[in-house]
Structure 1
Amino acid sequence: MPTERDNGPASNPMMPPPERGGTVGNIAVLCDFDDTVAVENVAHLVLDRFARAEWRTLIKQFHDGTIIPKEYFERPFRSVRESKEAIQAHVRQTAHLRDGFGEMARYCQQRGIELAIVTHGLDFYVEALLEREGLAWLPTYPVGARFTPQGIQFEYRYTKPGCDDWGNCKCSVVDRYLSAGKRVFYVGDGLSDFCPARKAELVFARTRLLELCQKEGLPHREFRDFTDVVRELERYSMRPNPLSL
């Protein structure tokens, strides 16, 4: 299940009731967080400030495939001993939402489009940025984090067989929305977005994900910020036959 702010597709009790309208209410827009919803990789902001300096050597190992994604996500945070409150304060001071995300959240809310964040990031730093921006009502599917005397412990809430190397399985979340009859539009940028992009009806992509979409011929739009996504949703809502992209 998603974080306590949400109970699954179309059932977030803390989300303001949407105004139904248009022809886009069967769409779910699922967004990656680091380097997508957030301009920066917020995990890197946290680790650069609070982890041991050598943590960055893991980035190359991850991209070279010499360590599995789950290990890449967990190992750097093992050296972090700062409090949750101090880390969240750092995130609020240093992280930024990508332009247009707040406007897209309101656009989706008004039109009954489900919008959620699907991420390998940790819940406490995702929450810190969303709360600062007044968007704490958005459903999120992050990795859970517990602060203990031994360090941060990880809780993987969204998994499925065959996806153990990743910990959190973004595709399992996409599958939930597809099973609920939603047409999934996916927004992302990186390696962890490859699997969900292949399941989505339309992908909004940048950087490495854009290269994948071009290589594999996936239906996609390049995006710079979320005004591009809103513009495409608006065009989609104006089509005589909204079932056709």
Structure 2
Amino acid sequence: MTLRTALFYLLLGLSTVIWCLLSLLIAPWLPQKARYIFIARTWCRFAVWLSRVMLGIDYRLEGLENIPQQPCVILAKHQSAWETFFLTAHFAPLTQVLKQELLRIPFYGWAFKLLKPIGIDRSNPKQALKQVAHLGLERLQQGNWLLIFPEGTRIPAGEMGKFSRSGASVAVAAGVPVLPVAHNAGELWPRDGWQRHPGTVSVVFGPAMHAEGEGPRAVAELNQRAETWITETMQKINGTAPANKAD
């Protein structure tokens, strides 16, 4: 399996360079949605396909009927790179909140900038929150889905991280629901190390949740509902209670 994992990353790396170079040449001339499909959806679908073929990582979906017709804020559990590939391919066009360092990666970062992601400085939380609030609302109004990992970073399988209220706050300001997403990708694609394990990722889309009112209390309550749903669903997926929240 180690050889197959090494070959997977070799092919993924080569595809990244080739596709990003093509994107830098072609995508600037495309409308925003077509640009997203060309740059992100196509390559991420390839990454998901490659992980299935080379690593034996398949997936099954539950709750597709819960996905709203109109773009909203997606609050997803974060354990690995796999769910980033999958969610980026599944929703279009999508704006992602990510650490700004990723936009400095040669080829990948250059191409990804064309999609207008929200790159934040995690060392400056107050500024990051303002940035997400302003640009997140703007992207939603432009017709984009907004993907936020409320734990802020990848959390090992079986653990839960602290949930930021930034996604719920943007949803309340925009008057759109949040869509909670739970999965167990971290069991097959661990956060640490290079080893990957064959199996099937369970991806569960929860019910779209609307705020009950406005203001900070509505934001806190909405965020808590999403966090509770994800926590309880993770427990069902794993068959065990999640560990205490990571610091």
The TM-score with structure 1 as length reference comes to 0.31
